[in-house]
Structure 1
Amino acid sequence: MRSSVLVLGAGIFAIVPGYAQDAASGEKIFVQCRACHQIGENAKNAVGPVLNGLFGRKAGIIEGYSYSPANKNSGITWDEATFREYIKDPRAKIPGTKMTFPGLKDPKQIDDIVAYLKQFDSTGKKKAGIVPAGRKLAKVQ
């Protein structure tokens, strides 16, 4: 029994990064994005579309935003893996995109911004069960 617990524990650590996603840090990183994007209950399209409910949404569908043909025709449905590729180098992922942001290169920053964005549903409300920014989960022993 003890050896199976150790094997299971080792397997978990093998697939989990050495750091946790931090939504509070992601909120600070999002300041770079705020020049073009809004998120939250009062978000509106600006230079870029609102980012409420991003994960699970098809690219190029926010009403009232004028997307590039490249984005509209990308066939992308935003999930974590796709967003991570995109945010590293938007123009490489979607050639012809209007997004001029050069990208985030630091994997920790990407983890944190993903955690921040995942908090918001399609209406801009914070999802139930998400730990508020700045709060840490208690360690399980």
Structure 2
Amino acid sequence: MSMKHVSRVMMFAMAVAATGPALAQAGDATKGKAVFARCAVCHSVDPGVKKLGPSLSGVFGRTSGTVPGFTYSPAMQKAKIRWDAKSLDGFLAKPSAAVPGSRMVFAGLPNPADRANLLAYLAGATKK
């Protein structure tokens, strides 16, 4: 194994360790679209489309509780979470534990593969 290959493997391993197990890049966006069907009852990936929950358009990099025109719970407004693959993964695992007092009634996605796939879908479908 070349030093160049070892270096790439080490960099990848460090990136995975730094961002958590369910990276958007590690998921399958096609499978994630099917997982999103559970979310689509309350959320849209289209900009400005509000349902029971806010639009998820541009969710990566956004701070929790900040979509204009959507009324968030005080808990979500106070959370000040910057949404990235790691924070979304934790939130999606069990929303009520990640943000106690949130109005989101979804129990969560306990399967890490489902979360990784969903994150991959959202990463592609929700770019601004």
> Could you say which TM-score interval applies, normalised by the shorter chain?
0.7 to 0.9
Distance (Å, rounded) in 2 between the aligned partners of 1:10 and 1:66:
44
Counterpart of 1:30, as a letter, is: F
TM-score, normalising length from structure 1?
0.75
Shift of 1:14: 4.6
RMSD: 2.1
Aligned to 2:69: 64
- More helix by proportion, 1 or 2? 2
Whole-angstrom CA distance in 1 between matches of 2:8 and 2:83: 31
- Unmatched segments (≥5 aa) in structure 2: none
The CA deviation string for residues 27-77 of structure 1, in whole angstroms up to 9 with x for no partner, is 000000011001135x51110000000010011111121100000111111
- Look up the match of 2:110: 105
SS in 2 for 1:34: coil
Q: Which amino acid aligns with 2:112?
A: P
SS in 1 for 2:37: helix
Q: Across the two proteins, how many residue pairs are aligned to each other? A: 119
Alignment map for 1:72-111 (pairs within 5 Å): 72-111=77-116
Matched AA of 1:7: V
**What is the TM-score of this pair, normalised by structure 2?**
0.82
Question: Any runs of at least 4 consecutive aligned residues in structure 1 with deviations exceeding 2 A, and if so which?
Answer: 5-17
The structure that has the greater radius of gyration is 1
Structure 1: state its 5+ residue gaps.
Answer: 123-141
